[in-house]
Amino acid sequence: MNSALAPPSTLTSLPHQKLHSFRSPPSLPSSASMTTTTARGSLAVTAAATTTLREGIAEFYNETSGLWEEIWGDHMHHGFYDPDSSVQLSDSGHREAQIRMIEESLRFAGVTDGEEEEEEKKIKRVVDVGCGIGGSSRYLASKFGAECVGITLSPFQAKRANDLAAAQSLSNKVSFQVADALDQPFEDGTFDLVWSMESGEHMPDKAKFVNELVRVAAPGGRIIIVTWCHRNLSQGEEALQPWEQNLLDRICKTFYLPAWCSTSDYVQLLQSLSLEDIKYADWSDNVAPFWPAVIRTALTWKGLVSLLRSGMKSIKGALTMPLMIEGFKKGVIKFGIITCRKPL
């Protein structure tokens, strides 16, 4: 059986995770500072810079997605692990951890498989914002029996995702297209579940990104954002330390990232839109084994040959991976989940 479609019953039971229901984080930046307290200076950038960024993201994933699939399969996101786990997992174990990330995200958000839900509360339509080659979309469509639409800036990813859907007899349930997450081609209130798995970090305008997620969500729909963030600023801080900004800036240049923001920034944006049931958590400890595992696979004979064949963007990405590990270890980079519900 394809690991991307492994039934939930095959997954290891998940440990209880500390979560935070939103009240008022002690050190939220002011709304004015949200446009300045980031590694690259602003949560929103000029139209010309946005166009250049969009083209760079598309080219990066056009070039690197085939390599990622060859080595890691069709889930282009972190795995979820037990904290402080010292177990050296096999490749299949890491792929199971990626599926576990999907399941834990759903559990945290209170999204069930719908068997005990009333008909009007079941997940029927899903949008996968920043879908990669469609691993999450196909998994969610199979789990919920829902229609799922994935969007990506990469033509390569959209085609490959549609090809994989056809190969898995899921074309009647899932489809993929090239579209901008900041200007989604969907009507208001379309989706019961709005899913963003590690795509928010690419968004040059975080406020517009969140507004689009809310716009396309149906009344009562659930929004799930899983993303890399920088640490929350402490009381009295107006920006990250210069060395922290420099570290993030070096990562940005390789992975085509604009300004980073914190989990608190996301919470504040959701609060400003009067979203309900806002929850967030720091899962940095749960993803800690991931980047070392990616580096180990890159250093295998198969990994090195595939890396050299893939091109310069992939090579630069591999060379940047130690910076991600450094960022996590020093507490600059955080891996966060933020969820909320659109009011009825």
Task: Give the pLDDT confidence of 47-88 residue by residue, as tens digits.
Answer: 888 889 999 999 989 988 887 788 778 898 999 998 766 555
197-247 pLDDT tens trace: 999 999 999 999 999 999 999 999 999 999 999 999 999 999 999 999 999
DSSP assignment of 14-36 equals PPP---EE-S--TTPPPTTGGGT
- Is there a domain that residue 121 lies in? yes
- Is there a domain that residue 297 lies in? yes
**Domain that includes residue 74, residue range:** 61-342
Alpha-carbon gap, residue 60 to 54, rounded angstroms: 10
105-141 pLDDT tens trace: 999 999 987 555 565 678 999 999 999 999 999 999 9
301-310 pLDDT tens trace: 666 666 666 6
- Is there a domain that residue 307 lies in? yes
- Is there a domain that residue 7 lies in? no
Measured at the CA of 110, the angle between CA 173 and CA 343, to 5 degrees, comes to 85
Say which CATH number the domain at 95 has: 3.40.50.150
Contact 129, 196 (CB under 8 A): yes
Question: pTM value?
Answer: 0.83
Give the three-state DSSP class for 126.
Answer: strand
- Is there a domain that residue 152 lies in? yes
Beta bridge partners of 262: 230
- Is there a domain that residue 5 lies in? no
Q: How many domains does the chain have?
A: 1
Q: Percent of the chain, pLDDT > 70?
A: 78
- Is there a domain that residue 163 lies in? yes
- Is there a domain that residue 15 lies in? no
DSSP state for residue 261 in the 8-state scheme: -
DSSP state for residue 188 in the 8-state scheme: T
Examine the pLDDT at 185 and tell me if it is beyond 80.
yes
